[in-house]
Chains A and B, each alone.
Chain A
Amino acid sequence: MDVTLPDRIVVAQVDALRAQLAAAEASLDVTFDLSPVKVLDTAGAWLLIDLQARIRNAGGRCDIVGASEVHADLLEVVRGNIPAPPDARPRHHDLFDWLETLGKSTWEGIRSLVEILGFLGTVVARFGGLLLHPGRLRFTSLVHHMHEIGLKAVPIVSLMAFLIGVVMAFQGAVQLRQFGAEVFVVDLIAISVLRELGILLTAIIVAGRSGAAFTASIGSMKMREEIDAMQTFGLDPVEVLVLPRVLAIAIMLPLLGFVADVMGLFGGALMSWIELGVSPGMFQTRLYDSVDVWHYAVGLIKAPFFAVIIGIVGCYEGMKVGGNAESLGRLTSTSVVLSIFLVIVADAMFSIFFSIVGV
């Protein structure tokens, strides 16, 4: 049968026209007359060629006639570029696929842990080199990072710790009042803030603030090949970029932990006074009498370890950034999640350790 085509065959009408031509396609004997067609685009040309191929594959006859020179050229170009049909391999998900994925991600996890340990080793070795040649320390950079990590985080850390103290006092008050043991709120606040919460929450805030910033800044340098450029001048990126950051965080996190301890106790004392009538003097006396200084020491001993975890993970993930912006975003979030996770794991291990040694 002869088919008269509309004067425009363009991309928006391709599906509609295919539906109209279904009867012609089924007849397996078609002549498409292109002479009334004024506008033909690649999608239109593709439709005609696709129909022709289908009819011919089904053993029918299909001719395209009356094409102007331009349209004939276009048909030729499209015909030459029809991609081969994709091999329809059914995608099946079975137990083996699942095992394969599990195995791959386990191996990936082990490998990245080993790599982080290797990176830690490199940083420690460079630090040793620095002790032998103290003049190589990037002092300006160190101070800059101490300012960024430490001083600028004081307001947020203080507020966080103050509120934690308030919450502890408030929650403790409700429970302890039932037993008439209000004064034990001091022990509750002091031990939990000094030993655990002060430093742990400070580490989490610093991981979110500075760990992410490490990954982002080192990662964007990596992306723009700044780190490669550095190496061509004989500068060691670990010494120039990583050491000042890790040292700065190792110095500042204990100090921030101290700030958090003070503010936590202050918030707790204030709330105890308002809610339970434990006067500041009473709070102080109770603190001196019943809270061992070791609780405070345990908190601060953990701080440098948490700091190194955050610094190393942040810098390591930054170094892993590839050439595209997408990996930068992905690794920045990995850096934060991984460092918080490792900090909590370390905290758990410290708890076990301190309970064994009995402090």
Chain B
Amino acid sequence: MDAREPIIEVRGLRTQFGDHVVHDGLDLDVYRGEVLGVVGGSGTGKSVLLRAIVGLLRPQAGRVAVFGTDMLSASEEVRQSVEQRWGVMFQDGALFSSLTVRENVEVPMREQTDLSAATRRALADLKLSMVGLPPNASDKYPSELSGGMRKRAGLARALALDPEIVFLDEPTAGLDPIGAAAFDALITKLQTTLGLTVFMVTHDLDSLHAICDRIAVLAEKRVFVTGTMRDMLTVDHPWAHEYFHGPRARAAGFGD
């Protein structure tokens, strides 16, 4: 249906915890260079989907291919080479609490490359500056930062190796509207200059409206529908209808 190159392909994904089936027969494509927003009600498995794609959770069935490599059957080395090409930002930044912010950003460089200490330091400071952290934040520990700054630092760490795909788990949750808007702008800016593909789990209608090229709605244990924001207004599903036509959606500028 699309001439664009799918960078992530999920087919027939099935995940369950005990008897509780989260996904059943879930299909999803993510194309190179797009910003995909994944939405869904609580408990529809948005974060579980993200974890299944990045390999933190092994699905019971199905196929996950990233850059054309089947991640579930690939050998350890192949998987690692693919993992180097993506970065993940967790909800609260998930920074290592025993390291300073700069050291946190240096961790992936230290593990995956043999750069000199001076280069690592300079690149880490550059990344921290790019995500909008003040220079004096580099030497602080995560516990000394505000929630928004931790998220930015988490993003800087995810971007440390200039990945092609960035996974963001609720990047604007817990931020004030100004901070959230600034974060949206930051993601857009980085996405265009670095040519990133962004896979973003979110609840935030403003974010969806501001930065997502395409939206995937999770419902009934699968991706119920994907499409642009305009397409979402015509989706015939109670949750999606409520979500995209509710008062908050109107406030965010949907349905104009």
Contacts and interface: CB of A to CB of B under 8 A. Distances in A.
A232 interface: no
Given A14-B119, A15-B114, 10 more contacts: A11-B115, A12-B112, A12-B113, A18-B119, A42-B126, A42-B194, A46-B123, A78-B126, A81-B129, A322-B143
Interface stretch (A129-137, A160-168, A323-331): A323-331
Contacts of B57: none
Interface stretch (A69-77, A119-127, A346-354): A69-77
A70 B126 CA distance: 19
Given A11-B123, A42-B162, A83 B129 contact: yes
B161 interface: yes
Given A77-B130, A326-B97, A41 B194 contact: yes
B135 interface: yes
B195 A70 contact: yes
B80 to A, nearest CB: 14
A86 B161 CA distance: 23
A123 B20 CA distance: 47
A73 B162 contact: no
Nearest to A325: B97
Interface string B97-117: 110000000000100111110
A14 B126 contact: no
Interface string A12-43: 10110010000000000000000000000111
B42 interface: no
Contacts of B143: 322-324, 326-327
Interface of B: 97-98, 109, 112-116, 119, 122-123, 125-130, 135, 142-143, 159, 161-162, 189, 192-195
A84 interface: yes
A204 B123 CA distance: 50
Contacts of A73: 192-193
A12 B115 CA distance: 7
Interface string A54-90: 0000000000000000100110011001111010000
Contacts of A18: 119
The size bracket of the interface on A is 20 to 34
30 contacts: A12-B113, A12-B115, A14-B119, A15-B115, A15-B119, A41-B162, A42-B123, A42-B127, A42-B130, A42-B159, A42-B162, A42-B194, A43-B123, A43-B162, A46-B122, A46-B123, A70-B193, A70-B195, A74-B193, A74-B194, A77-B189, A78-B126, A81-B130, A82-B129, A83-B125, A83-B129, A84-B135, A324-B142, A324-B143, A326-B143
B182 to A, nearest CB: 15
B126 A15 contact: no
Q: Closest 5 A-B residue pairs measured CB to CB?
A: A41-B162, A81-B129, A83-B125, A324-B143, A326-B97
Max chain B C-beta neighbours (<10 A), residue from A11, A15, A78: A11
B170 to A, nearest CB: 19
A10 B113 CA distance: 11
Interface string A137-152: 0000000000000000
Contacts of B162: 10-11, 41-43
Interface string A96-139: 00000000000000000000000000000000000000000000
Nearest to B84: A12
Nearest to B130: A81
B129 to A, nearest CB: 4
Contacts of B126: 42, 46, 78, 81-83
A2 interface: no
A50 interface: yes
Nearest to A47: B119
B97 A324 contact: yes
B90 to A, nearest CB: 14
Contacts of A82: 126, 129
A263 to B, nearest CB: 42
Contacts of B115: 11-12, 14-15
A18 B113 CA distance: 15
Contacts of A325: 97
